[in-house]
């Protein structure tokens, strides 16, 4: 039996129910706080605030646990595929053979995009960041599928939008890259699996034969699984809050892409490679930079180490470290930037300073390394993250809608000027 939490304020005592989740985490339910006490809570960054109850992803930052719908990330990364994990996240259960076939067939069927989208793409300057292009193209789907705008859209329409999003995202992602490098876009090849199709659209050139390397396709599939959901992070919370206004799913996902873009969120893997390149440009002395990281007076920050919620280790990083080793070995990559990465990793894992501060290499560190080894350009790293996070965003949007959650509307503590007289311009 859970106890109530008591709050004493202004000499009066108030009680609030404590609710317990299925993994025994507890939360004080303050839904009636303002109504009964006149108080609100202040929690910048929402580090102590649960914005919802969710049945999608369980994360224990202290123990390094991550599970999608109850399934361990380690098992899913080893035994499942990205499309199967997408189905699991969105619909709540692992698909039967029949469900899986129909789901992947539907997705394959919708990979092509309206030709007019190419015109929108062509309007972007070639130096546009692919994340901006991707979020714009996803948002543009509202114009091609206006039914998605109706607040009381049917289940059928919602499902079709979900399928379209998963199907078209790789096409948009690859096209955003093609626009950047000034190459003609490739159309999807529906004979290929999800990741191979993306790789072909991304790398194939009209003048050359392109065969997808299965080692690369399988490493990519694993990376997408590892990124598929991470409960109420910045971009996911954005998707839910935008969706809570009954904006279209395309608009909500587009907003999530923009939230992911920032260097403190999805842009972190790009920052890792940029840091490694800067170290290389400065002579490649990893030790010098480890010392700089330890120096309190030095503004240098080691990118890709430690994590906001994982206090001991990032379970995704453990899986991905092995994948990174395999990929580098199988592809026989010889890259001085990746050598610096290995040196930093080794030192950080063995240096007491980093061990004490739990500054272990995180998922962004290894994903940056793998993407670089796979030949994916640095500013596409965040796009790869978005490709992986898409089913998580969709699942969270769908759950928010099915729970009938109210529009997100945080409060504030106002600290500005008090009421004052308007001063006409000639008297200012
Ligand atoms: C994520 O996967 O979304 C990142 O690790 C960031 C986070 O969870 O806060």
pLDDT digits (tens, 9 = 90+) for 206-238: 999 999 999 889 999 999 999 999 999 999 999
- Helices and strands (H, E) in the chain, number of each type: 18, 6
What is the mean pLDDT of the segment spanning 75-83?
A: 98
The string of pLDDT tens digits covering residues 172-195 is 999 999 999 999 999 999 999 999
Catalytic annotation on 110?
A: no
**Which of these, 165, 175, 269, 271, lies nearest to 223 by C-alpha position?**
269
- Nearest ligand 1 atom, CA 308: 9
Lowest mean pLDDT among 32-46, 56-70, 91-105, 330-344: 330-344
Q: What is the pLDDT of residue 252?
A: 98
Q: What token pair was written down for 340?
A: 């610096």
- Dist. CA 259 → ligand 1 center (Å): 11
Catalytic annotation on 265?
A: no
The helix (H) or strand (E) run that includes residue 175 is helix 155-181
Q: What is the pLDDT of residue 153?
A: 84
- Indicate the pLDDT class of residue 128, thresholds 50, 70 and 90: very high
- Nearest ligand 1 atom, CA 314: 5
Q: What is the pLDDT of residue 145?
A: 96
Q: What is the pLDDT of residue 321?
A: 87
Name the active-site residue from 110, 129, 227, 307.
307
Substitution candidate for ligand 1 out of 49, 232, 233 with most atoms within 8 A of CB? 233
- Dist. CA 233 → ligand 1 center (Å): 5
What is the mean pLDDT of the segment spanning 135-163?
A: 94
The answer to whether the CB of 358 is under 6 A from ligand 1 is no
What's the pTM?
Answer: 0.95
Q: What is the pLDDT of residue 1?
A: 54
Q: Is residue 428 over pLDDT 70?
A: yes
From residue 344, give the alpha-carbon distance in Å to each of 217, 307, 311: 27, 17, 20
CA 185, CA 179: separation in Å to the nearest integer? 8
What is the pLDDT of the chain when averaged over all its residues? Answer: 94
Closest residue by Cα to atom 8, ligand 1, is 233
Q: What is the pLDDT of residue 151?
A: 76
Q: What is the pLDDT of residue 32?
A: 96
The answer to whether the CB of 230 is under 6 A from ligand 1 is yes
């Amino acid at each position: 039996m859970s106890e109530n939490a008591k709050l004493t304020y202004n000499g009066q005592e108030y009680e609030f129910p404590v609710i317990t989740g299925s993994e025994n985490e507890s939360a004080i339910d303050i839904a009636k706080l303002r109504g009964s006490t006149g108080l609100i809570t202040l929690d910048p960054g929402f580090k102590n605030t649960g914005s919802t109850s969710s049945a999608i992803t369980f994360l224990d930052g202290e123990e390094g646990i991550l599970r999608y719908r109850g399934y361990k990330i380690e098992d899913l990364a080893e035994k499942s595929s990205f499309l199967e994990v997408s189905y699991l996240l969105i619909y709540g259960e692992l698909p039967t053979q029949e469900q899986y076939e129909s789901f992947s067939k539907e997705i394959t069927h919708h990979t092509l995009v309206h030709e007019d989208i190419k015109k929108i793409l062509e309007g972007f300057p070639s130096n546009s960041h692919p994340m901006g292009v991707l979020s714009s193209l996803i948002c543009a789907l509202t114009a091609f599928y206006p039914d998605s705008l109706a607040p009381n859209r049917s289940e059928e329409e919602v499902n079709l939008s979900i399928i379209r999003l998963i199907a078209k995202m790789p096409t948009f992602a690859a096209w955003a890259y093609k626009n950047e490098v000034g190459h003609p876009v490739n159309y999807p090849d529906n004979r290929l699996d999800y990741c191979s199709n993306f790789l072909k659209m991304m790398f194939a050139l009209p003048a050359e034969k392109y065969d997808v390397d299965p080692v690369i396709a399988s490493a990519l599939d694993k990376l997408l699984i590892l990124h598929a959901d991470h409960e109420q992070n910045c971009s996911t919370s954005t998707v839910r809050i935008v969706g809570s206004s009954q904006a279209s799913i395309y608009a909500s996902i587009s907003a999530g892409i923009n939230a992911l873009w920032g260097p403190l969120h999805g842009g972190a893997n790009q920052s890792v490679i940029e840091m490694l390149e800067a170290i290389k440009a400065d002579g490649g002395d990893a030790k010098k930079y480890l010392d700089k990281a330890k120096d309190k007076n030095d503004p240098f920050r080691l990118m890709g180490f430690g994590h906001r919620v994982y206090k001991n280790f990032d379970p995704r990083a453990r899986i991905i470290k092995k994948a990174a080793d395999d990929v580098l070995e199988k592809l026989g990559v010889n890259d001085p930037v990746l050598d610096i990465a290995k040196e930093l990793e080794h030192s950080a894992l063995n240096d007491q300073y980093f061990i004490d501060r739990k500054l272990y290499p995180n998922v962004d560190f290894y994903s940056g390394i793998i993407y670089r080894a796979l030949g994916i350009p640095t500013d596409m790293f965040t796009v790869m993250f978005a490709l992986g996070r898409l089913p998580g965003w969709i699942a969270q949007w769908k759950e928010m809608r099915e729970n009938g959650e109210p529009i997100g509307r945080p409060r504030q503590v106002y600290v500005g000027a008090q009421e004052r007289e308007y001063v006409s311009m000639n008297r200012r």
